[in-house]
Amino acid sequence: MEFNSAIFYFNTAIFYDIENLLKGYTCSSQVIANLSIRGILEAVRQTGKIGKIAVQRAYANWSDSRLRILRDEINELGIEPIQVFGFSREQKKNAADIQLAVEAVDLVHLRPALEVFVIVSGDGGFASLAKKLHEYGRTVIGCSYKSAASKTFQAICDDFVLLPDPEEEEQQSAPSPQIHLLGQFEVNDPRNIRLSRCVKKLTVNTLDSIVGKTKEILDWYATDLTTRSELMREGIYLSVVQEAVKFAIPGFQPTKLGFKKFMEYMQFACKDSEYCIARPPNSQATLRFRSSVGEDIEVLPDLDFDHSIDTYKSILENEEPILQLPSSEELFL
C-alpha cells in the first residue's frame, strides 16, 4: 500500500476564480444558485493529490449583491474572499486572473511549505502560471467545466478536475409548468429554486398532508448549507417560506385551514419542533431555530387550531366561505 505523507500536513493552496466559474457577471441568478463551492472542494479532494489546506482564496467582485449566497458558503468553508473591482468602468473577466496569478507566485516565496497549487478556473491564461509553478517544483491541479477548460492549461496541469456546468444544469431545470411554475405562480428566490428540485409538490390536500409538506420544507431549509446558516443567525423571512409553501402545496391558503394569516399558520406548523417564528425588535418576523434565538428577540407562541366563532367571522370578512362535504363513506357510517 502506497503511503502518501503529503496528506498529513498543510501543503495546499486553492485559488477560486469566481469570475471564470460564473462566466462573467451576466450570468443568471439560477446559475449562481447552482454553483456549489463545497462540491468543487470535494471533487478536488477526490484526486488524492492534495494535503491539508493552508490557503483558500476566492476572487470576485463580492460587492455584487447576487453573490450573497456564495459569500455565505465560502464563509462556512473558511475561504478568504478577495475583492476584485477590475481596471476600468467595465467589468473585466481577467481582473481576477491577474490578481490570482500575482498572489500565487508571491506565496511560492512567502510560504515554501506550499507544494500543491489548485487553480479553480479553465482560463488558458493560467497555463503560464502553471509553467512558472512547475519551475519552482510545485504540483498544479486545474479545475473547471469541460466546456470552458483550456486544452493548453489542461495539458500542463499535473491533474485536472472536470466539473458539472451550472449553465447546463440551468437549461435542464429551467422554469416550466412542471418544475418552477404553479399556474401563474413562479418561484423566484434562489433558495426556493434549489428547494423545488428536492421537494415534490403535494398531490392530495388534507390537513395532515399539508402540515407534513410544510415540515418537509422546513427540514430542507435545515439541511441546505445557506439556509441552515440563516436559520441559526438572522432567520428566513416568512415571505420566502410562503413562496416555497405555495409552490409545494397547490392552492394553499391559510384561511382554508382556519388561520387568518400565514404567520399564524407557521406558528401552528412549528409547534413542538426545533423551529419557531421569532420577531426581532423593529423588524419582520422570521423562521429560526429555537436554540439560536437571542434574548432580545421575541419568540411568537405556538398556536393550535382556533375554531372560535370570532376567528371564522374574521376570516369571512375577507374570504368567501368554503363548503367541504364529507366523503360518501363518512356520510353513510
Fold of 5-170: Rossmann fold (3.40.50)
Look at strands 116-120 and 181-182 and give their pairing: unpaired
Going residue by residue through the chain, which has 333 residues, state the pLDDT in tens, using 9 for 90 and above.
344 545 558 999 999 999 888 877 666 666 777 788 888 888 898 888 999 999 999 999 888 877 887 888 888 889 999 998 754 444 445 678 889 999 999 999 999 999 999 999 999 999 999 999 999 999 999 999 888 889 999 999 999 998 877 666 544 444 433 333 333 346 778 888 889 889 999 988 888 899 999 999 999 999 988 899 889 988 999 989 999 999 999 989 888 787 888 999 999 999 999 999 999 887 888 999 999 998 889 999 998 865 555 655 555 555 554 445 555 555 555
The alpha carbon of residue 278 and the mean position of all alpha carbons in its chain are separated, in whole angstroms, by 22
Residues of each domain in the chain carrying CATH 3.40.50.1010? 5-170
Cell numbers at 63, concatenated: 460587492
CA distance 179 to 295: 40
CA distance 217 to 244: 7
Task: Name residue 277's beta-bridge partners.
Answer: 287
In this prediction the pTM is: 0.52
Cell numbers at 231, concatenated: 436559520
CA distance 82 to 67: 13
Q: Among candidates 115, 79, 80, 85, which has minimal Cα distance to 99?
A: 85
Q: Kindly list the distances between the CA atom of residue 51 and the CA atoms of 62, 115, 140, 251, 284, in Å, as whole numbers in the listed order.
A: 28, 9, 13, 52, 45
